[in-house]
Structure 1
Amino acid sequence: MKLLYVKGSPRGDSARSAKVAAAFLDAYRAKHPDAEIEELDLWQAALPEFDGDRAAAKLSFFGDAAMNGDQQTAWDEIVKITSHFAGADDFLFTVPMWNNGIPYRLKLYIDIITQPGLTFGFESETGSYGLLKNKRATAIYSSGVYAEGLPKGFGTDFHSTYFNEWLDFIGVKDVASVRYQPNMLTTDPEGTLRAALDAAKAAAIR
């Protein structure tokens, strides 16, 4: 069994989500002592830009012109990164809210690995369907201003709605969402942290 821990925050161990992720990992290791755990820091990883060659390579699967040499090289790189992702059984993501959405490095990674024939298929009659099977994911959603139930001036949750929809799109159906979203109006910050830690541990051993 392999767990891929994808770090969406550039703040390392000082990120709000890091403590919650650590609790998940401790419980996961206790539950699965023989599992391989790999960390992927998106802010240190060498991710290619999703440029014209890569976009053209992707669109070739939808009836555009066949790939030329440069596009084939770009596609081979995408296949390598995507195959590495798809090789995991479980996923742990830290997903901080940035401007109501997700960080751009996480979005870039999603754009790289969301590919026809690799993570999703497409039928002309019924549309897209996910290709990843029997995978599990845990997403730790963090923010410092937004919290559920607050007025719109504190933000709108497009980060979890988008991210959960993406997981479903590629076929990951077993998803646990853990929220750690204390802000200036939180009356019990320590209780909020404890709840998030408990939720992370439960997600790890589910």
Structure 2
Amino acid sequence: MTKLLFIQASPRGEQSKSIQVAQAYLDALKAAKPALEVDVLFLWEVELPAFDGDKTAAKVAVMLGQEQSAVQKTAWDQVVEIASRFMSADRYLFAVPMWNGGIPYRLKHYIDIIHQPGLLWGLKPETGYFGLLENKHATLVLTAGAYAGGRPSPAFGVDHQSTYLRSWLNQAGVTAIDDLRFQPTLLTADPQGALAQATQAAVELAEAHARVLAR
């Protein structure tokens, strides 16, 4: 059974345009693949522990192949528990608004917790980083108030949103990535019409993905 993790990075819930477009994608995918298992992660409601000194020390011990102290092991177990939810999914659906050219800090916090050696990535002195996730797929739903491809940059913003997410996922081993964009959400003559177009694009992408899953 295919498992999809739907990560909602906006605090606006149903009012969020990124979540609305992502939900349209998910509804269409579920309609075509009723057996799809869906896990929804609303980042503004879950407890995300600080990645503090104990967790950092535990990470370094993993990287150096050293034994962790009891305190470090407890801290690392907490990291592994959170990361395991992410690692167990086959597909990822991200609903991510652009904040100050990048991503909401809550999503960055989550990534900083789960992106760990021995879990999502490894490092070889000779060749560098390599991802540990295999056969995963990610769909990024990206919104921005003023930024859009083709608009003058930096006057209307800079895209550190998609570039960061793709770089992070690639380092973790996720290279099959699609994105859906509703940009800009504010500086558009017909906001509802633009949203409808983005939603239709989401449905069409989901239907295409469903055909791939059916093979």
Query: Does TM, normalized by the shorter one, top 0.5?
Result: yes
Q: Partner of 1:120 in structure 2?
A: 121
Matched, 1:175 2:192: no
1:153 to partner: Cα distance? 1.9
Q: Partner of 2:203 in structure 1?
A: 201
CA deviation vs aligned residue, 1:103-160 (integer Å, no higher than 9, x gap): 1110011011101111111111111111111111111001112122222221101011
Unaligned runs of 5+ in 1: none
CA deviation vs aligned residue, 1:64-88 (integer Å, no higher than 9, x gap): 8642221110100111111111101
Q: Partner of 1:41 in structure 2?
A: 42
Q: Partner of 1:96 in structure 2?
A: 97
Tell me the distance in 1 between the aligned counterparts of 2:150 and 2:91: 31
Q: Partner of 1:140 in structure 2?
A: 141
Distance change (3 Å), C-alpha of 1:115 and 1:193: same
Tell me the distance in 1 between the aligned counterparts of 2:47 and 2:80: 15
Tell me the distance in 2 between the aligned counterparts of 1:126 and 1:195: 43
Alignment check: 8 A CA contact 1:138 1:203 kept: no
Tell me the distance in 2 between the aligned counterparts of 1:176 and 1:58: 31
1:29 to partner: Cα distance? 0.4
Tell me the distance in 1 between the aligned counterparts of 2:139 and 2:81: 23
Tell me the distance in 2 between the aligned counterparts of 1:199 and 1:175: 16
Alignment check: 8 A CA contact 1:147 1:183 kept: no
Tell me the distance in 2 between the aligned counterparts of 1:84 and 1:32: 21
CA deviation vs aligned residue, 1:150-189 (integer Å, no higher than 9, x gap): 2222110101100111111111111111101134442343
Q: Which letter does structure 1 place at the counterpart of 2:196?
A: R
Tell me the distance in 2 between the aligned counterparts of 1:59 and 1:187: 51
CA deviation vs aligned residue, 1:10-53 (integer Å, no higher than 9, x gap): 00000111220121111110121011111100000011111111
Q: Partner of 1:159 in structure 2?
A: 161
Tell me the distance in 2 between the aligned counterparts of 1:153 and 1:138: 28
Unaligned runs of 5+ in 2: 210-215
Tell me the distance in 2 between the aligned counterparts of 1:88 and 1:99: 29
Q: Which letter does structure 1 place at the counterpart of 2:107?
A: L
Tell me the distance in 2 between the aligned counterparts of 1:111 and 1:145: 27
Q: Partner of 2:150 in structure 1?
A: 149
TM-score after normalising by structure 2: 0.90
TM-score after normalising by structure 1: 0.94
**Counterpart secondary structure, 1:33:** coil
Q: Partner of 1:32 in structure 2?
A: 33
Count of residue pairs brought into register by the alignment: 206
Tell me the distance in 1 between the aligned counterparts of 2:125 and 2:185: 46
Q: Which letter does structure 1 place at the counterpart of 2:45?
A: Q
Show structure 1 runs of 4+ deviating over 4 A: none
1:90 to partner: Cα distance? 0.9
Distance change (3 Å), C-alpha of 1:183 and 1:13: closer
